[in-house]
A and B are shown apart, each in its own frame.
Chain A
Amino acid sequence: MKTEKPELPDENAIAINTNDPIIEITKLCKSFGVQQVLKDISLKLFNGENLVVLGKSGSGKSVLIKCIVGLLKSDSGTIKVFHHNVTALTMKELGEVRQEIGFLFQSGALYDSMTVKENLEFPLIRLKANLTKKERDAKIEETLENVGLRDALYKMPSQLSGGMRKRISLARTIIIDPKIILYDEPTTGLDPVTSDEISILINDIQKKYKTSSIIITHDIECARATANRLIMLQNGQIYADGNIENYEKSTDNVIKSFFK
């Protein structure tokens, strides 16, 4: 197993505020039983950045972002989100940090028993309690328009296609105006055309809502379209860190197997 990082130029293509890491992970370890999924992971997400985390299935990508949002407890290491150490927060404090984080689940995770409108209302009622009903309705309509699905307001999740479900999930993620969005495999299970549309939507959201994002994927086209910087995970460790050009020029076999 190769553990050394391949040599890559470390200049980023897009100007990002590298003095201001909004997520800072240091020596993060996570195991499930005897299987160690994350080994000494250290990374930073900078303000305004789209960071793509690449890796094979089972390399610990999803576990990484679930640790960031506190859905999974890490074994050791620190995760600082806006300088708050997530691993040491109480549930109440964690709830406050989560208000700044949007999470797009791999399966969409739309509530089956609720309409699209109720799905979008759910986080809004709880996290933006000061809004009136009229303001909430306006916000829902505006968000649905931003993801191009204004007509889906009263549909049930079962009436939506895979791409539409992803868009509605994205709408539910951005409706609370998060500063950070964590995307878990946003294009998995979608056809190439819809995948491209979702990638474009991710970029649009970054510009419009001025968010910073971590995008977990093994879809190279999605990574190409959205990444300001890429990190590759291999066997629970960071294998490479750089921008897309660095990866495409790399002669390393593991990287080449992804960027054929």
Chain B
Amino acid sequence: MKIILPVLKAKDIVIHHTINLSERTIEKTEIANNFLTDIADVLLFIARFIKETFSRKFEIREFLYQCFKIGYKSLPLITVTGTIMGYVLTIQSRPVLVNFGAVTMLPGMVAISLIREMGPVITALICAGKIASGMGAELGSMKVTEQIEAMEVSSTHPMRYLVVPRVLAATLMIPLLVLYADALGIIGSWMGANLKGDVTLTLFFSQAFSHVIFIDLIPAIIKTFFFGAVIGLVGTYKGYNAGRGTESVGKAANSAVVLASLLVLIVDMIAVQITDMLVL
């Protein structure tokens, strides 16, 4: 027995390790498989979106309704956040500029910050929270309650009716919301500046825009179209591919916000790099 036991133990160890190794290999293969499947799904979704966008049967009524929902219905939220953004930026920047004796630069600095970076990114992040989650939840619940399948049976391509109008509306409306937020941000900034000074709105605007050149505006506006497309695509993708239970609706909405926000920041980083390379 004394001789046999170690042999048995060694065997056990070998078998144990073999099982562990094979389980780990299977697990890793599954993860890699799932990852590749997800990538393929996303690419297929984008390809189908592009194909349906250029199809002859464009759902113009649904597109206009989505523009109204995404654009007009977001106005109160963007009004408040845009104004606060400019106001807070002014209050925070003023003491630093006073120290350097450059308080007259305040309107120009705030305008450039708002137009080039803060306006687009903060508005896009807020829209990611409001619009992407709304799309994820709406399409997710439609999937759970078989409404998407009902659409397919009615010979209506759900991609054409649900996804294309939403993504295009987001792509078009978010740049407009950003411009609106920029304008309100400058008004908010004027309000902030008036707490410790006395500047007329006309003077503040003329000082602000004397530092802003047209080229500040172009890259900022171009990137907001990409923000809009990202928000629309992520929101609809997550909702369209939601699971079957009601729990998956919450998951779709939640993951839509997280992924859309992350992608907005990544797109922003890429846009800034490209702008910098082109010396704009």
Q: Chain B residues near A176 (CB, 8 Å)?
A: 154
Interface presence of B152 (CB below 8 A): yes
Q: Chain A residues near B147 (CB, 8 Å)?
A: 109-112
Partner-contacting stretch, out of A33-41, A94-102, A203-211, A237-245:
A94-102
Whether A99 contacts B155 by the Cβ 8 Å rule is yes
Size of the A side of the interface (Cβ < 8 Å), in residues, is 21
Q: CB within 8 A of B152: which of A71, A111, A122, A127?
A: A71
- Which residue, of B146, B153, B157, has the highest number of chain A Cβ atoms within 10 A? B153
Which residues of B, 45-63, contact A by the 8 Å Cβ criterion?
Answer: none
Whether A95 contacts B146 by the Cβ 8 Å rule is no
Q: Encode contact with A along B29-41: 1 for CB under 8 Å, 0 otherwise.
A: 0000000000000
Whether B154 contacts A101 by the Cβ 8 Å rule is no
Q: CB within 8 A of A103: which of B145, B153, B157?
A: B153
Whether B156 contacts A103 by the Cβ 8 Å rule is no
Whether B149 contacts A105 by the Cβ 8 Å rule is yes
Q: Chain A residues near B146 (CB, 8 Å)?
A: 105-107, 109
Q: CB within 8 A of A71: which of B141, B142, B149, B157?
A: B149
Q: Chain A residues near B157 (CB, 8 Å)?
A: 91
Q: Chain B residues near A69 (CB, 8 Å)?
A: 153
Whether B150 contacts A105 by the Cβ 8 Å rule is yes
Interface presence of A123 (CB below 8 A): yes
Size of the B side of the interface (Cβ < 8 Å), in residues, is 13
Whether A122 contacts B153 by the Cβ 8 Å rule is no
Chain A residue at minimal CB-CB distance from B61: A125
Interface presence of A134 (CB below 8 A): no
Q: Chain B residues near A2 (CB, 8 Å)?
A: none
Q: Chain B residues near A123 (CB, 8 Å)?
A: 154-156
Interface presence of A126 (CB below 8 A): yes
A69 to B152, CA, bound (A): 10
Whether B153 contacts A71 by the Cβ 8 Å rule is yes
Q: Encode contact with B along A31-54: 1 for CB under 8 Å, 0 otherwise.
A: 000000000000000000000000
Q: Chain B residues near A98 (CB, 8 Å)?
A: 153-155
Q: Chain B residues near A112 (CB, 8 Å)?
A: 141-142, 145, 147
Q: Chain B residues near A101 (CB, 8 Å)?
A: 153
Q: Chain B residues near A66 (CB, 8 Å)?
A: 149
A111 to B141, CA, bound (A): 11
How far, in Å, is B10 (CB) from chain A's closest CB?
Answer: 35
A155 to B10, CA, bound (A): 75
Whether A109 contacts B145 by the Cβ 8 Å rule is yes
Chain A residue at minimal CB-CB distance from B155: A95
Which residues of B, 143-184, contact A by the 8 Å Cβ criterion?
Answer: 145-147, 149-150, 152-157
Question: Besides A107-B145, A109-B146, 12 other CB < 8 A contacts?
Answer: A69-B153, A71-B149, A71-B152, A109-B145, A109-B147, A109-B150, A110-B147, A111-B150, A112-B142, A123-B155, A126-B154, A126-B155
A-B contact pairs, 7 of them (CB 8 A): A66-B149, A71-B152, A95-B155, A99-B155, A107-B145, A122-B154, A127-B154
**Which residues of A are in contact with B by a Cβ distance under 8 Å?**
66, 69, 71, 91, 95, 98-99, 101, 103, 105-107, 109-112, 122-123, 126-127, 176
**Which residues of B are in contact with A by a Cβ distance under 8 Å?**
141-142, 145-147, 149-150, 152-157
Ranked 4 nearest A-B pairs via Cβ: A109-B150, A123-B154, A109-B146, A95-B155
